[in-house]
Structure 1
């Protein structure tokens, strides 16, 4: 039984049933089922061979009722058609054949995948009907190939297809050629094609991403950035038919920054969240998109990420091309686009923040410059009033002064001049930075001047065991330089060479090279590591861990040299190799003088002495006071020669004084003869004060040698650092001589255990108590720390809560080394720290702002003494009255000894009995 069905004015294809099941076909979105058996199927053997080859389309065509098509039954097909059909079906490349004026279609399996839902209904149908939506693009090349008998080649042909339920933008590379009949006539069209939609769209999107990246650039204005991004997207709107960039404000809301493809007023100006933007109806915006101008009905909202763990910096609303499916590739493109925009916004905000920081730093720098300029008078006036009287006294009465007095005044003058040099250098550098300093050039015999300046430091170089070679032959003509500035350049470079050279020599060489004067200062010193060279001339820069004769300095010397040379229109460079030496080269033009008046200058010898603070002076070290050694031997370690001489004079009446210039020399001295006390500076070249302390504590023979630190690093944190490292006492510069003498005597007494124990009658269990009348406190028995066994360890901590953690760490380590049971050690830690906390909180008006702790461990018995130096006071009202004594008494025997100058708490834990140990 047969049935024909008209679908849109054309005859439906006819397929037989298979096992009673009709074979379906799709036509214009409807499924058409035909139940009809073709008589052609039984035609001679040549009929079946046309569709042989085993392809799916071959089987479909073999079962197709061709008699109902313009080409008629298969048995009547001309040989040319038969051969063409076999060729198409045998190919694995997408191929299609149309035959006759009705463009009846034959195609293979590969082509069937290109037309999607139009297959298999397109078999035997008119190509112009099957591809009606794209025929406008195909008509001309197809008809031209058939009429002109010429094959065409069209790469990336844009073709509209409705193969997936929507109007789809596709691209094909296709060739159309004529198909010939048996008589050589053009009977149809033969086309070979391949779809390149994915490649075309991917390249287009890649170009768009590049355009957005280029437009974003390095912009500091994020709103201008948003405008440029939208402008770039608007130039190629196929994949992004509309765009809106929203940026977060200070309140976290999204504010519209730029729009393209749609009237900005049709989008919300502010949105609380990205979710609110997702509720925008894209279809109501009236935007056309895609290559065919269809209405945009969908849009996506993408957050602009601010980075890992940060809040988004905005959101991106983009329309979707109505002729492309929103598949994974499209979504990836959106994510890349959002990532680029987000990165650009983050960079813009970072640039803006950096600019704001730079402006703030510039403002601080201007304030600093103003400050130094304003205080220059305040700094120089007291220096003048200090130096002038000393200079006058030495000039007028130097011969009549006692030697000790003259030496003290000479020391004060020399170090006052050193301070003046530091102040002058700092102020001059600030003045140069602010643009208020200019070189006043005068004609100078630069060779003679340079030789004289270099010779100022000859004595310092020779005392250091170095040779100083000065090679400054006469120049062909005078050079125009500022004499005061040239003096600072030469002295700074030569002093630097002496400071960092230990063996060999220093060379100063001056030459004329064309219109330039070239000064070279070379040395055989320690050299400079390559990574440090780029920053060598920056202000305050100092090469870390570089051996030197002294750690003193401001880090301004080389920076000042560069600035002064620059004011003369010159340059300064350095070549250096670690372990070989360095060569500094100054090059500046001969120039023309600005004036004939030579400005006054400080005598170079004065400035030279101020540049070498490590150098042994001719006065103090030559005539030290005769030592008496009443108290013991003290080793003074300092890299400043004047400081060593001063301390020697100060301590010699009561101590036998030995000196060392750095920690390494001190260790050699201690190895020869152990001192009673070591008095050391912290910042020294080579082995510094902390390195010396660690070395002493690591050696069993010197572990108990008391160490007192002197340092310019004032402040509580510096003191805590010193005590935490194991120092016995810590004194900041400047200090009073009487305080230093008292500290040294106290440290020595503690180390020798000379203090007498407190009278037993005064001992009583510790308990918090209210303040007593002053008369009663004065009548109390003094409370020195009890005498310590030889194996006792003594520490001193600042009287602050910050001292409790270092006390806990030291005590824990000591008890562990003594082999105490972990539980017992823990109990003693609690008791000792509670006693120290009480000493900090309750002692008022301390004569010394410290808490002394002594620990003795003998044969398993432990005694811990904690002493403050103040008068008892109650803390806040007595919510916790008695808590401290109860806590300490729970762990050990506690005895408190009060006194007018402090309270001593002694915690004793006897050696456990064998039974206790077993338990």
Structure 2
């Protein structure tokens, strides 16, 4: 009985034990579950933390990239700004450099032209003064002295006028110029100013016309400034119009908006001015680039001064021009009658009115070759200033024949036609300047031997190099003395004589045997070839040789005389004798046969000429 109870007790204990194990197991499982859940939660938290950290990192990286990009953009922007600033600075610097270069070129052009304008009359003044002193010592006739004094007076007036123009321009810039108005009848006064230009126009064979239907026009004028305007416009028109051209003037009274104006126009049929240059034509020191025509140069002051004077009188000035057709310059000033009247305006203006009439004595026949002697050297003077030409002529006329050309174009034609012994040429001239003259003549086989002396106010080293590079043999800077000119000419002629003496000894042998080719012998070789081609023709002489070469007898004679020292006839004979000598030395022909072969119709004359040429008879050579 007690065993079942015991068993039950054991069973109950067993159940308790089992329940405890289950509880422990359950507890363990719960703990495991809790632990696993905790691990999962921790893993999730770590994962979330990693995600958050990653997001934070990504956000931080994005921000850094943004900052980096921002800095890069700012850097590029700064770099672009710096680059743009650098480029703009370079451009500004380049523009400033170009502007300074333009200013420098303008300054150089101004000084060059002003120097030329000053040096030319100074050359005449100094030269003629020296001549007067010499004439006084030698008791020369009074009329010549009077002519020299007139030239000095005219050159001095021109120089003074240029100085006054420069001073007036300076005063205007400083605002110190005022009008000195007087009331005059401007029609007879204007005609008086115009009258002095008729002779200047006649010298260039220019058709000079004046159209004025007004008899009287009383108005206020500043006489000196009005004179400067009129004379500048007319002198420019004549100066820049070619020979046989046309210059016409028109004077009239016009009404505009109930205001009366005095109108003056100057028309010419010259080359005209381009539209680009018209806008600068009234600027101070500006000069139209006439490089294609080499028209005359001035100081670049006149038109600027005319514009300032016209505007000072409350008027306006204009230019109308078409390249290749001609130009029209004109001005108008309002007519007023407030000033005090003047009875004799000519007296007021005479001291400021430039003399424009040339001395007829300078342009007479004395400038053609002087018939002193054919053995006297022939000098060609190429100079556009008649006073300078007259001075040079007075320096040379006792010892040289003289020819005169008023510009480079005519000078080239005369040099090619007359073949002078020496050329004295100015640099700044119309048509063609001295550099072109030099280049043309030094590259032509007819004239490449002629020494050329350049006269110039361009005294810089660079200008001398330009002249020498074109073949100039000597330079004289204005103003120069008579002794300088004569010494240079004498030296160059002496040098030519030395060359001729050397050529006379070895020239023909050198040409025939060595066949030397240079500027001195090329033309002679050409002549020798023509002679050889016609050597057997007895009638072949200077006339036939000149015709074959396309030259005149005079051209050929002067060229041969200058380069070989022989006349054409003697040169032809020498070549024939040289050929005869060669045939006697290399063939078995008789003297008579050789004489006929080289164009001698008389064997006896051949023998006499042979002995004179070589110092021995042909029989001494004949085999």
Residue 756 of structure 1: CA displacement? 8.1
- The one of 483, 496, 503 equivalent to 1:738 is 483
* 2:176 is the counterpart of 1:429: no
Tell me how far apart the structure 1 counterparts of residues 193 and 180 of structure 2 sit (CA, whole Å): 19
* 2:493 is the counterpart of 1:748: yes
Residue 701 of structure 1: CA displacement? 1.9
- The one of 359, 364, 369 equivalent to 1:622 is 364
Residue 633 of structure 1: CA displacement? 0.9
- The one of 570, 573, 580 equivalent to 2:318 is 573
- The one of 212, 218, 226 equivalent to 1:486 is 226
Deviation >6 Å, runs of 4+: 1-4, 7-13, 345-355, 754-757
Q: Which has the higher contact order (CA 8 A, sep 6+)?
A: 2
Higher strand share: 1
TM norm structure 2? 0.61
Deviations 1:42-68, CA, capped at 9 Å, x for gaps? xxxxxxxxxxxxxxxxxxxxxxxxxxx
Tell me how far apart the structure 2 counterparts of residues 28 and 814 of structure 1 sit (CA, whole Å): 99
Partner of 2:153: 413
Residues 655 and 8 from structure 1, CA distance in 2 versus in 1: closer, same or farther, beyond 3 angstroms?
farther
Deviations 1:332-361, CA, capped at 9 Å, x for gaps? 443224533675598689989999x999x9
Structure 2: give runs of 5+ residues left out of the alignment.
Answer: 1-32, 104-121, 130-139, 510-517, 523-563, 565-623
Root-mean-square deviation over aligned CA pairs? 4.8
Say how many residue pairs are matched: 445
Deviations 1:417-472, CA, capped at 9 Å, x for gaps? 11111111111111211221122222233333333322321221232222222223
Deviations 1:643-683, CA, capped at 9 Å, x for gaps? 22232233222111111112211221122221111111111
Higher helix share: 2
Partner of 2:51: 27
Partner of 1:439: 179
Partner of 1:236: none
What does 1:407-556 correspond to in 2, within 5 Å? 407-474=147-214, 478-502=218-242, 503-511=244-252, 512-514=254-256, 515=259, 516-546=261-291, 551-556=296-301
Deviations 1:678-702, CA, capped at 9 Å, x for gaps? 1111111222112111111211121
CA contact (8 A) 2:294 2:433 kept: no
Residue 717 of structure 1: CA displacement? 4.8
SS at match of 1:704: coil
SS at match of 1:619: helix
Tell me how far apart the structure 2 counterparts of residues 749 and 413 of structure 1 sit (CA, whole Å): 37
- The one of 150, 155, 165 equivalent to 2:59 is 165
What does 1:41-80 correspond to in 2, within 5 Å? none
Deviations 1:283-322, CA, capped at 9 Å, x for gaps? xxxxxxxxxxxxxxxxxxxxxxxxxxxxxxxxxxxxxxx8
SS at match of 1:443: strand
CA contact (8 A) 2:316 2:331 kept: yes
What does 1:193-212 correspond to in 2, within 5 Å? none
CA contact (8 A) 1:501 1:548 kept: no
Structure 1: give runs of 5+ residues left out of the alignment.
Answer: 14-24, 31-116, 118-161, 170-321, 363-381, 390-399, 611-615, 758-785, 793-812, 818-855, 857-919
CA contact (8 A) 1:749 1:755 kept: no
What does 1:441-840 correspond to in 2, within 5 Å? 441-474=181-214, 478-502=218-242, 503-511=244-252, 512-514=254-256, 515=259, 516-546=261-291, 551-591=296-336, 593-596=338-341, 601-603=348-350, 607-609=354-356, 617-622=359-364, 624=366, 627-629=371-373, 631-753=376-498
Residue 8 of structure 1: CA displacement? 13
Residues 700 and 622 from structure 1, CA distance in 2 versus in 1: closer, same or farther, beyond 3 angstroms?
closer
SS at match of 1:731: strand
SS at match of 1:702: coil
SS at match of 1:607: coil
CA contact (8 A) 1:7 1:27 kept: no
Partner of 1:335: 76
Residues 547 and 725 from structure 1, CA distance in 2 versus in 1: closer, same or farther, beyond 3 angstroms?
closer
TM norm structure 1? 0.42
Residues 432 and 354 from structure 1, CA distance in 2 versus in 1: closer, same or farther, beyond 3 angstroms?
farther
SS at match of 1:710: strand
